[in-house]
Structure 1
Amino acid sequence: MNGDQNLHRPQARPADSNQAVEEPVGTGPGSGVSPARQDFPGSVGGTDGAVPGRPVLAGRCVWAGEAYDVTPGVIGDARRFVTGFLAQLQEDGWIEVSPRLTEIAQLVVSELVTNARKYAPGPCAVEVELSGPVLEITVSDTSPVLPLVLPADPARVGGHGLEIVTALCEDFAAQRDPSGKRIKVRVSVGPAAG
């Protein structure tokens, strides 16, 4: 948790599952060449976008998550977690991570965790997932109150955070769940993000 951050290595898992596969990315029975292989746009190396020896399998994604107490250092901890996840994706050869993608991911997680810290009474969780050509960032907190994205108004003081987030992301969704709410955004990892 806060202060003693343990960045988890990204894990491969079935795309439509809530359970992480316990194998590190690129190992285990699903890591060999398979009829389900698909080349991942934006992958490091190769003329077709594929990394030799590292196929991306249809229906697989890469995921990591962390839970936080909403203490003063939580925003920096969440930013470091997301930055570490992206660095690990690049190091492991999943994608080429542009500085722009890192900046967008940091800004998005900063805003969403800031709102969780401001408006929710309990802990929050951050999940990041590489799913196809997008990075999904999900922040869960204990408040059931859904955020209100205000229309652009340059005369308004404050309240521009979610406006900026929605402008940078391909998709923004908020939904209640039994413990509060989940906000999920999708950011392109391709050239548009870089």
Structure 2
Amino acid sequence: MTDAIAAERATQGPLLYASVDYDGTDADDGMVASARDFTADFLTASPASGHPRVPRERVDLARLVVSELVTNAVRHAPGPCRLLLELFEDALEISVFDRLEASPVPRGHDPGRIGQHGVEIVVAVCESVSVEPQPSGKRVRARLSLV
């Protein structure tokens, strides 16, 4: 997994990146909250590396996307997962790696359904969402515009 990430960075070049690994033993809420905080801290600190300040509403949207993707990993792919944030000039790529090979499936719009709207939300607010097979699971990647 690390070699593929390094090769991708060499060709496309994010300005800044950071990742955090979760072993999957944390309580659901603790892992998701930690991922949201990690994302906010990463984006808030980005001006120190020369990136323009990310607007607060974009930080909040990034936290929402991370929350939905990590929640899916916690609920449907118990075990270790990794959150990778890659900051580009005008976008943030959010990737969650987990051990489940099956792709998340967006459900049809149903305002009467309680819960299970995470993938719908991510697709609605992001420029793109992809699922990429990995040697031991998958990578769900979402690209969020920062402008």
Per the normalisation by structure 2, the TM-score is: 0.86
Alignment of 1:100-115 (within 5 A): 100-115=57-72
Partner of 2:22: 68
- Say which structure is richer in helix: 2
Q: What residue number does 2:123 align with?
A: 166
**1:48-92: CA deviation from partner (whole Å, max 9, x where unpaired):** xxxxxxxxxx95321111101222111111111111110110233
Distance 1:169 1:123 in 2: 25
> Per-residue deviation at 1:135?
0.5
CA distance 1:69–1:134, shift in 2 (3 Å): same
2:113 equivalent to 1:156: yes
Name the structure 1 match of 2:146: 189
- Displacement of 1:118 after TM fit? 0.6
The Cα offsets for residues 83-113 of structure 1, whole Å up to 9 and x where unpaired, read as 1110110233312211111111110111111
- The share of aligned pairs that are identical, in percent, is 40
Aligned-residue CA RMSD (Å): 2.0
Q: In the superposition, relative to structure 1, how do residues 116 and 59 fare at CA in structure 2: closer, same or farther (>3 Å)?
A: closer
Alignment of 1:1-194 (within 5 A): 17-18=7-8, 60-61=13-14, 62-70=16-24, 71-72=26-27, 73-190=30-147
Spell out, residue by residue over 1:150-184, the C-alpha distance to the aligned partner (whole angstroms, 9 max, x if none). 12111222211111111110101112211111100
1:99-141 CA deviation, whole Å, 9 max, x = no partner? Answer: 1111111101111111111111311000000123110000000
Counterpart CA distance in 2 for 1:113 and 1:122 is: 12
Report if the CA contact (8 A) 1:64-1:128 is conserved.
Answer: yes
Any conservation in 2 of the 1:16–1:59 contact (CA below 8 Å)? no
Structure 1 distance, partners of 2:130, 2:9, is: 21
* Runs of 4+ deviating beyond 3 Å: none
Question: Higher relative contact order by CA 8 Å / sep ≥ 6: 1 or 2?
Answer: 2
Please say if residues 68 and 124 of structure 1, whose CA atoms lie closer than 8 Å, have aligned partners that are also in contact: yes
Q: What runs of 5+ residues in structure 1 fail to find an aligned partner? A: 1-14, 21-57
Unmatched runs of 5 consecutive residues or more in structure 2:
none
